[in-house]
Chains A and B, each alone.
Chain A
Amino acid sequence: MSEATLLEVVRDIVEKAAPGEQVEAYASHSVDTDVKVFEGRVEEMAVAESGGVGVRVVVDGRLGYAWVGSLEPDLVAGVLDEARDNARFAAPDEWNDLPTGDDARAVPVADLDLWRDDLAAVPVTDKVALALSLEQTAAGLDPRVRGVESAHYGDAAMESAVASSLGVEAASRRTVTSCSVSALAGEGDGTRTGYGFSVGRTLADLDPETAARDAVERSTRLLGATPVASRRLPVVFDPLVTRSILGILGSALNGEAMTKGRTMFLGRDGEEVAAAHVTLVDDPTDPRAYGAAPYDAEGLPTRRNALITDGVLRGFLHNTSTGRRAGVGTTGSAVRGGYASKPGVGARALALTPGARSPEDILRIAGDGFYVQSVSGLHSGTNPVSGDFSLGAEGLLIRGGELADPVREVTIASTVPRMLLDVVEVGSDLTWLPGAAVGLTLLVGEMALSGA
């Protein structure tokens, strides 16, 4: 499957648009390899190719969507008619109109090199060898590690194309590779787990050594963890946790949530919503970001969007529909969960602008506090409308500026607005991670810890 072929698939569909009808077709294709090893042997090896098509039709403001999880011509042939039929049942909405060719030309397209030809040439045996060495390294680094729960290598070569009857046409492709490992330290009820990973665009980008070391350190340093008494204290977020917190912010700064009134930031444009040294940007044009992409899900060029500058809220992320509704236009932030869903809105590379302090400095500044290594219950524990959140957490107490006793089975709670205003330090340790946000160490002045 080549980009030209996917473009042909989507062009064939949009050429059939009837007068008065707007048609957009999206097609994607992916070749994936996944290797899981366990106790020195390959446990699962999957090599898969998949693809599909999603079609959006707008007639008199009525939107219909249909998809098919296949590029087989007999199934693809029926999608346009199905989407047309579905449009009859939706209510008309003046903001449903698709983006135009002018929208697509309004901003230059970032020149991103996200595809590595050599990945296709990497023999499967090298992929297996990497996964096996990852497992072996993690198992051998520390005698307190009693086993490796899972060790995994995965890669994907993904291509997509969008075309519309209004003159949008875009195609792009990218490769990604990753490896991850989960270490088990301690025995029985005292077992602690730790996770490590590495991501890149081809196999040679991966650093399994560091992934293994991270997993081992994160599991062993929690050995003997206990709940601690409830208190209020300064909290330092590990870069991985910061990424998760940024995910909450990304949802709250989403144009869909905004136009529906479902965000804590409603009507706060231009106001101080965070401490003065907080600057938050979503920049999918930065090739270092895992979520980097030249085009958004509607085929429009992506761009750098500043959301919070020096603590002041500058705006929200938008796709064509929410951008028009809000009167500000698209920010090139349409995303989609694949061909099975129509474009929504979302961040791709959300990052705080790093500060001057190293993680060690930040621990010293915190003095006595709580270092959060991982959080759980993000989805269930966060109210994007009120901003209240309460998360399960594990990590280490900070005593005298150093990491001390391990802690588990506690929750940390605050509200997002209060936390943003209470950001004391933004770390210098920008960490590129999988997902739609970038990590770094963060110090928040005070949060409520609930424990024993």
Chain B
Amino acid sequence: MIAPEIVERTLAVALSRGGDFAEVFAEDRASVSARLDDGRVEELATGRSRGAGIRVVRGETTGFAHTADLSERGLAAAAEAAAAASTESGAAAQVAALPDAPRGPEGSGVAILPETVSKDAKVALLQRADVAARERSGAIRQVSAAYADGRRRILVANSDGAFAEDDQVRTRFMVTAVAEGDTGLHTGTEAPGRTLGFEIFDEIDPEEVARIAADRALTLLSARPAPSGRLPVVLKRGAGGVLFHEACGHGLEADLVRRDASVFRGRVGERVASPLVTVVDDGSYGREWGTFAIDDEGTPARRNVLIEDGVLTDYMWDLVRARAAGRPSSGNGRRETYRHLPMVRMTNTYLLPGAATPDDIIGDTEYGLYCVALGGGQVNTATGDFVFGVTEAYLIEDGQITEPVRAAQLIGNGSDALRLVDAVGDDFDTWAGTCGKEGQGVPVSSGQPTLRVAELTVGGTAS
């Protein structure tokens, strides 16, 4: 993307007014999205963006500027601006010599680059999903389907001598179905995504995605309003990982810990969860939605154990927070685009399987809520309080899954929820989503086995 000698000279400009650390992050991204609604392809859109963000760190101050102009002149101007923003002059770090070529994986590692696939083939997937969803039932009134792929090539270099690149390709398929019945209109959605090219459709069948979305909407037709109060909650495999992403993951991000905005501050080595709970964050795991070769600071992705058998083992780190603490980054420095500063972000965050069977967990629950799909959620990391929308759930009565319920929120506290996990299953699944933090969205996955939280507040609408 940029010649090594230009990168080196840009780093030197960035440190020309002093500073401990400088970094150039260049990015070239292309995206395709297609959307079908009411049986018709509404829109095919393509986008392209390209540019570089430059930061200069001096003490605890970071100066940042970005440019869409990747010429040496454009980069130098941004480097000047970042240097000026990082405050007054002073001693400057030396720019370490960069390797002759950036380190990084050979190519994107995907089998079929989406850009080599015709737009016709992408659009055809939408039509298949539309038919499959409508075939499910005459009660399906509306179907929308969307296809999206993105290729993101990045190059990172810093004054410590890091010089790395990555070619990240992601593909996602989404179906939303609306069913109509006596209880009104109800919506079901399914949206799998992977860090893969078009070969994702060897694993993901558009018709199956459509059937899941349609069935979710149809289930809600016969659902009654969810109960309210404190109940045992069983989370089906895959469905509840996002709860742990919110409820404990964010509180384990070193930048929030540093700001004293985490209930987990100063608690490494302490028991913070049920002994059944082990949580890892792993940016190198498979080809999940949050997988990459290097993070957006050039650190290779790796597996980090955050909570082991209930004991807090470590936080997640980016370069700046790790430098201040005198330790290496954990590969969690990410940013939405070159126009954003990196910060500590999760990748693929998983609660690991245990020994119980899912059937036993449900059978052992006298009365509770069985959650099959959760919508979005949010957490206040300083207090640990979280809230989640439940999009598909059933009552558990006398150890049996009985009738579906709708319109519920789960509300609780992250620390409490971790302590209250009292059964962990031997199955496992993952879920793809976009994690938002301080206005930046990045692709992540979350995952867990079927498990039970002994008590959470369920806010339903049953009167």
Given contacts A45-B64, A377-B409, A414-B461, whether A66 and B47 have CB atoms under 8 Å apart is yes
Known: A47-B65, A230-B229, A392-B387. A90 touches B43 (CB 8 A): yes
Q: Among residues 384 to 436 in chain B, which have CB atoms less than 8 Å away from a CB atom of chain A? A: 384-389, 391, 406-409, 411-413, 415
- B372 within 8 Å of A by Cβ? no
A82 touching B46, Cβ below 8 Å: yes
Size of the B side of the interface (Cβ < 8 Å), in residues, is: 82
CB-based contact B413/A70 at 8 Å: no
Binary interface encoding of chain A residues 369-388 relative to chain B, with 1 for a CB under 8 A from any of its CBs, else 0: 00000001101110101101
- What B residues does A197 contact at CB under 8 A? none
Q: B376 contacts A377, CB within 8 Å?
A: yes
Residue of B nearest to A339 (CB): B47
Residues in B with CB closer than 8 Å to A213 are none
A65 — which chain B residues lie within 8 A by C-beta? 43-46
CA distance A449 to B153 in the complex (A): 49
Contact of B87 among A42, A48, A381 (CB under 8 A): A42
Assembled-state Cα–Cα distance A42/B391 (Å): 42
Closest to A190 in B: B383
Asked if B437 is at the interface (CB within 8 A of a chain A CB), the reply is no
Does B119 contact A86, Cβ atoms closer than 8 Å? yes
The smallest C-beta distance from A249 to any residue of chain B, in angstroms, reads 18
| B185 lies within 8 A of A262 (CB) | yes
Question: Cβ of A63: which chain B residues have Cβ within 8 Å of it?
Answer: 42-43
Cα A260 to Cα B180 with chains together (Å): 13
Chain B CB within 8 A of A115 CB:
no
Q: Does A118 contact B (CB under 8 A)?
A: no
Docked complex Cα distance between A261 and B43 (Å) = 19
**A391 interface residue (CB < 8 Å to B):** yes
**B205 proximity list for chain A (CB < 8 A):** none
Interface flag for B195 (CB, 8 Å)? no
User: Which residues of A are found within 8 Å of B406, using beta-carbon distances?
Assistant: 388
Q: Which residues of A contact B457 (CB under 8 A)?
A: 227, 409-411, 450-452
Least CB distance, B165 to chain A, in whole angstroms: 20
B263 touches A (CB below 8 Å): yes
A204 interface contact, C-beta 8 A: no
A354, B299: Cα distance in complex, Å? 54
Chain A residue with Cβ nearest B261: A149
Q: A69-B48, A89-B123, A381-B389 are in contact. Are A193 and B380 (CB under 8 A)?
A: yes
- For B384, list chain A residues within 8 Å (CB): 189
What is the bound-complex CA distance between A450 and B408, given in angstroms? 11
Partner of A381, one of B60, B341, B409, B412: B409
Q: How far is the CB of A227 from chain B (nearest CB, A)?
A: 7
Q: How far is B355's CA from A63's CA once the two chains are assembled, in angstroms? A: 53
Given contacts A38-B259, A52-B49, A71-B68, whether A89 and B62 have CB atoms under 8 Å apart is no
Q: Which residues of B contact A341 (CB under 8 A)?
A: 45
Q: Which of B4-12, B33-41, B106-114, B286-294 contacts A (4 or more CB under 8 A)?
A: B33-41
How many chain-A residues does the 8 Å CB contact rule pick out?
Answer: 80
Q: Which of A43, A85, A191, A448 contacts B263 (CB 8 A)?
A: A191
For residue A263, give the distance in angstroms from its CB to the closest CB of chain B.
Answer: 9
Please tell me which one of the listed residues A48, A147, A385, A451 contacts residue B65 in the complex, with CB atoms under 8 A apart.
A48
Q: Who on chain B is nearest to A32 by CB?
A: B339
Is there contact, CB below 8 Å, between B382 and A450?
no
* Neighbouring A residues of B67 by C-beta, 8 Å: 49
Contact A90 B44 (CB under 8 A): yes
For A380, list chain B residues within 8 Å (CB).
374-377, 387-389, 391, 409
By CB atoms of chain B within 10 A, which of A38, A48, A63, A450 has the most? A450
Is A388's CB under 8 angstroms from B407's CB? Answer: yes
Q: A89 and B120 in contact (CB under 8 A), knowing A376-B378, A383-B407, A409-B385?
A: yes
Check B49 against A415 for contact (C-beta < 8 Å). Answer: no
With both chains docked as a complex, state the minimum distance between the C-beta of A222 and any C-beta of chain B, in angstroms. Answer: 9
Asked if residues B48 and A184 are in contact (CB atoms below 8 Å), the reply is no
Q: Are the CB atoms of A413 and B460 closer together than 8 Å?
A: yes
Whether A50 lies near B339 (C-beta < 8 A) is yes
B142 contacts chain A at the CB level, 8 A cutoff:
yes
* Cβ–Cβ < 8 Å partners of B391 in chain A: 380
User: Which of A50, A52, A87, A412 is packed against the most chain B CB atoms within 10 Å?
Assistant: A50
| C-alpha spacing A49/B67, complex, angstroms | 7
A188 within 8 A of B: yes
A91 CB within 8 Å of chain B: yes
1/0 per position for B114-139, CB-CB distance to A under 8 A? 00000110010000000000000000
Residues in A398-414 with C-beta less than 8 Å from chain B: 408-414
Q: A376-B378, A380-B375 are in contact. Are A68 and B228 (CB under 8 A)?
A: no
Tell me how far the C-beta of B72 lies from the nearest C-beta in chain A, rounded to whole angstroms.
15
Question: Is A377 a contact of B184 with CB atoms below 8 Å?
Answer: no
Whole-angstrom distance between the alpha carbons of A64 and B34 in the complex?
Answer: 10
Contact B69 A72 (CB under 8 A): yes
Complex: how many Å from CA A376 to CA B381?
13
Given contacts A45-B64, A75-B50, A191-B382, contact A377 B387 (CB under 8 A): yes
Task: Decide if A173 is an interface residue (CB 8 Å cutoff).
Answer: no
In the complex, the answer to whether A385 meets B86 with C-beta atoms within 8 Å is no
Which of B46, B60, B378, B458 has most A Cβ within 10 Å?
A: B46
CA distance A414 to B64 in the complex (A): 45
B77-119, CB under 8 A of A: which get 1 and which 0?
0000100111100000000000000000000000000000001
Interface residues of A in 29-70 (CB under 8 A from B): 38, 41-52, 63-70
Closest residue of A by beta carbon distance from B180: A261
- Please, which residues of chain B bring their CB within 8 A of the CB of A51? 68
Which of A43, A85, A150, A415 contacts B62 (CB under 8 A)?
A: A43
Q: Are B50 and A45 in contact (CB under 8 A)?
A: no
Would A376 and B382 count as touching, CB distance under 8 A? no
A306 touches B (CB below 8 Å): no
C-alpha gap A260/B185 in the complex (Å):
12
Residue contact B64 to A69, C-beta cutoff 8 Å? no
Select the residue from B47, B119, B178, B184 with max chain A CB neighbours within 10 A. Answer: B47
- Which chain B residues (215-244) contact chain A, with CB distance < 8 Å? 225, 228-230
- Residue A119 at the B interface, CB < 8 A? no
Is A394 in contact with chain B by the CB < 8 A criterion?
Answer: yes
B303 at the interface (CB under 8 A from A): no
Establish whether residues A448 and B376, one from each chain, have CB atoms under 8 Å apart when the complex forms. no
Is A319 at the interface (CB under 8 A from chain B)? no
Q: Does A340 lie at the interface of the complex (its beta carbon under 8 Å from any beta carbon of B)?
A: yes
Given A383-B407, A388-B407, CB of A68 within 8 Å of CB of B387: no
Residue from A69, A184, A232 having most chain B Cβ neighbours under 10 A: A69
Given contacts A380-B375, A390-B408, 6 further A-B contacts (CB under 8 A): A45-B63, A47-B84, A48-B65, A69-B47, A260-B38, A411-B387
Closest 3 CB pairs of A and B: A411-B459, A380-B389, A69-B49
Q: Which residues of B contact A (CB under 8 A)?
A: 34, 37-38, 40-51, 59-69, 81, 84-87, 119-120, 123, 141-142, 178, 183-187, 225, 228-230, 259-261, 263, 337, 339, 341, 374-378, 380, 382-389, 391, 406-409, 411-413, 415, 457-461, 463
Question: Can you name 19 A-B pairs with beta carbons within 8 Å?
Answer: A64-B45, A66-B45, A66-B47, A67-B48, A69-B51, A86-B45, A90-B40, A124-B85, A146-B260, A184-B382, A261-B142, A376-B387, A379-B389, A380-B409, A388-B461, A390-B407, A392-B386, A411-B459, A450-B459
